[in-house]
A and B are shown apart, each in its own frame.
Chain A
Amino acid sequence: MSNYFNTLPLREQLNQLGVCDFMDSAEFLDGVNVLKGKKLVIVGCGAQGLNQGLNLRDSGLDVSYTLRAAAIEGKRDSWKNATDNNFTVGTYEELIPTADVVINLTPDKQHTAVVTAIMPLMKKGATLLYSHGFNIVEEGMQIRKDITVIMVAPKCPGSEVRAEYVRGFGVPTLIAVHPENDPEGKGLAQAKAYCVGTGGHRAGVLKSSFVAEVKSDLMGEQTILCGLLQTGSILSFDKMVEKGIDAGYASKLVQYGVEVITEALKHGGVTGMMDRLSNPAKIKAFEISEELKNIMRPLFQKHQDDIMSGEFSSTMMADWAAGDKNLLAWRAATGETAFEKTPAGDVKIAEQEYFDNYTLMVAFVRAGVELAFETMVQAGIKPESAYYESLHETPLIANTIARKKLFEMNRVISDTAEYGCYLFDQACKPLLADFMTKVDTDLVGKNFNEGKDGGVDNRTLIAINEALRTHEVEVIGTKLRKAMTAMKSIKTA
């Protein structure tokens, strides 16, 4: 198997990277009809598998689960998830041959093994559905020519997929059809119907391609989503401790701050987040985030270049082959950082205090979101795709940090994201060493406004507001957020 993207001529590479269509709700008027009466068999029953299946069944579709024989015999969690909710469960041999649509919701790393096992069992003309394109694009998995290959990727954790569905809404979703495997031309109609079945059509659907999804997804998760949040959190904590701020307070500010700050990002974009600062703090945050963008731009570009060339995935797959040597070492090191080992103190921090005392993180988030977005768009990815993989997902990842810090974040995200995150973090910390020596507690740990009179220069403020509001990520974000206005706010105690 060889990297699919690299086998394509430039023309076709650009063509597939550029598939990006924010679909009108009128495109979904046929509902789930295309899949009515068809047999849907889901491989794997983790959080995504279970919750998507519950939604699909509640939409009137015929859903069952297939698991490896060992998981059934051992009555593992995946088996319990499916049987406790009264789904039929069977082995690959029992269920795959009956399936009209096989939904592969196993972890990325298992895709080659799983798809190799199920493909010979699939009936002629069936459909194989992925929720991430890594296996097709980076590993170059070849699917039998009679099989239709589609992707439906809800852009939220599994529990949210269910929670939003039961209240009559859904989560933003990305769909795609693999151009090499659409022999009957039914791929798009099936992907749309599946999307209706999970409720995604109510919250905005982006038609993308396997290629665009993979190249933007990898970029987002390595840089702004996981990488930069990890680097920023660790540097902020260390700085506060160095400057004599109480370690318990510092730990709490960092653990929950990123969630509170990105909650503002979720509702109002970069503008909404920056508007939570006082005027002098906003000007300062703008200035240092400009500086951060300049420092980190080459690193963001290197990540995007390695993703495009396939360098990233081949390096990572080599680590898979080596028994995850690097991944495990980096994971262990993350567990040993002072931030991870210092429990959040028993202090009350008011919502606004997270902004006023953690201006540095606001600057990190603005720099990271804009840089990731700009770098993706420069590489040929469309703004809508770039938005989902940068700004949109940042609050979701921040939520995992609030739950149990970085270790939890890295446990929840995919192995691919985790690997990329460490890669970025290793390179980014030394890059920011000089910058961090200039940072003091007014930016992290204490109220920025303390001892200042709050006055600002009108023209400076106007220019900064203008720069923030007219950035392309804000323009496209305003449009996309309208489609998902009702998204529930995530609450942490």
Chain B
Amino acid sequence: MSQPVVHIANLNLKYQQKPVLQDLNWTINRYENWLLCGTSGSGKTSLAKAIAGVDHSYGNIKIEFNAQSNLPATVYYVANWFQFKDLEGQSNFYYQQRYNKQSTETTATVKAELESFGKKNALQFNEVDSILAALGFSELKHSTLIQLSSGEHKKLQLVKAIWLKPQLLILDLPYNGLDTLSRQNLNTLLEEISEAGTQLILISNDEELPSCLNRFAVIKEGQLVEISADERTGNEFDTLDQAVPAFLAEATVASSSAEIIKMIDVNVSYGDKRVLKNINWEVKAGEKWVLQGHNGSGKSTLLSLICGDHPQAYANNFHLFGNKRGSGESIWEIKERIGLISPELHWYFDPSATVFQSIMSGFYDSSGLFCDPGYSKKIQTDELVSYFGLDEYKNTLMNELPLGKQRLALLARTIVKNPELLILDEPCQGLDQQQTKHFNRLVDGLCKNGTTLIYVGHFESQLPACIEKRILLENGAVKSVENILENVENEASIENVENFEY
């Protein structure tokens, strides 16, 4: 029998005074690659950090590296959340800062960042290019870190990890924000490095996983429970499977204009780099759209124009809610009509707000709450707290919650004011499949009363049923605009279009 690589005996971990892991035992033998799945808050991330030595642990973790291997004798952890620093070592960035141009560069380029990582770990520079290409990152080499989207930051972390090929690699929710092709390529890369000797611990609730995984586990009541490959479906207690809260279901959503969005030859460029090219797009009140495209196709930039977050909105022929942008409206008048969730909104959200404050801040479109909203709004917020199953966490700070719970709070924030335009940019990141299904059903319910919807999702199987139109971007241009008909007959054609997607 081979020597265990990781041996954990009676590990106890507390998080905010609550025990998370209790006398947990786990042995990882050589050639084993583990999948760790299960509900949000069960302790997956805490366990991963303990193994990676990120957090203090109260128990016994032994890691036996292979002295014969020429791979680095180290545990490398790719977090579900990530930070980057500017040239002065600070990570003090703000929401949508990347769209506000400042002449002085304060962050390193991707190239410089990779060079310093490679040098520090004595890596072969000729190996990195193929990894960059596989993850669709080559063109971003000369971008600065501040310019990257959250999905692109995630990929950069993965590039580093795969380049390093540590003896033990722990990946926490690596697929978040990756498009279909990148996910497939990531799996191929993981299979390759596993072949070369890297052992994996992968934390994920996704379906399409690398074939090299050979052990599966969940954490239940603080203990590790091994399961079989087909047992790993989400079974989180889920309050989302209820009727839409009355105060949202009953209200009809009045649109302030028959035409919500009208873009005429919209362009966005940074220097010579064109990010959006001659976009023409009309969204009429009440329409339900899905916006798709590969990573870097321009989806986030397009949405940032609509949400009042991009300065180049002022330089384009672009109408929002019937008014030309830059005709004297404030971004707060625009945001008032929009319910937005996006990876970046989550990333930059005020971590020191409580769940209750965070949800209520949706009434004011602020990150954190800066005024007293009064009785009726508090009652409505309470209803959503319960609806999303967050009663227990109502007064907990966001940064004390696992990502999945934070995400539920922000979803509640998105809909709390029942806005006329809902922009849901990968709303279900970090949720399991069951929760995603239920949330999408909630979206269907909400949208019955005239709400206009723009939904970004990489997987066809994970879209709300009410979607009727699709816009597909490719390299910054509109590749196609089409109707999706709501009947059984056409379900097959939806499946077909899936191949379309990058």
A interface, CB within 8 angstroms of B: 32, 36-37, 50, 54, 57-60, 62, 77-78, 80-81, 84-86, 159, 162-163, 166-169, 202, 403-404, 486, 488-493
Contacts and interface: CB of A to CB of B under 8 A. Distances in A.
Contact of B308 (A36, A58, A202, A493): A58
B96 interface: yes
Interface string B303-321: 0000011011011000000
A265 to B, nearest CB: 17
Interface residues of B, number: 38
Contacts of B352: 489
Contacts of B311: 54, 57, 85-86
Contact of B309 (A37, A60, A166, A490): A166
B94 A163 contact: yes
Nearest to A50: B102
A168 B361 contact: yes
B97 interface: yes
B370 interface: yes
Contacts of B361: 168
Interface in B69-99: 85, 88-92, 94-97
A81 B101 contact: yes
B328 A60 contact: yes
A24 to B, nearest CB: 13
A493 B94 contact: no
A84 B350 contact: no
Contacts of B312: 86
Given A60-B329, A85-B101, A166 B350 contact: no
Contact of B91 (A57, A168, A403, A493): A493
Given A59-B330, A60-B330, A490-B92, A167 B350 contact: yes
A229 to B, nearest CB: 18
Given A59-B331, A167-B367, A493-B91, 9 more contacts: A36-B328, A59-B330, A60-B329, A60-B333, A78-B103, A162-B97, A167-B95, A404-B88, A492-B90
Given A32-B330, A404-B88, A166 B102 contact: no
A485 B91 CA distance: 22
Contacts of B350: 167, 486, 488
B89 A492 contact: yes
A5 B291 CA distance: 62
A84 B103 contact: yes
Contacts of A58: 308, 330-331
Given A36-B328, A58-B331, A488-B350, A168 B367 contact: yes
Nearest to A81: B103
Nearest to A86: B315
Contacts of B95: 163, 166-167
A81 B92 contact: no
Contacts of A404: 88
A73 B103 CA distance: 16
B89 A167 contact: no
Contacts of A36: 328
B365 interface: yes
A341 to B, nearest CB: 18
10 contacts: A36-B328, A60-B329, A86-B315, A162-B97, A162-B100, A163-B97, A202-B370, A486-B370, A492-B92, A493-B90
Contacts of A493: 85, 89-91
A347 to B, nearest CB: 15
A81 B311 CA distance: 12
Nearest to A488: B350
Which 6 A/B pairs are nearest by Cβ-Cβ distance? A168-B366, A163-B94, A84-B101, A167-B367, A60-B330, A86-B315
A41 to B, nearest CB: 16
A167 B358 CA distance: 12
Nearest to B361: A168
Given A54-B100, A60-B329, A86-B312, A486 B94 contact: no
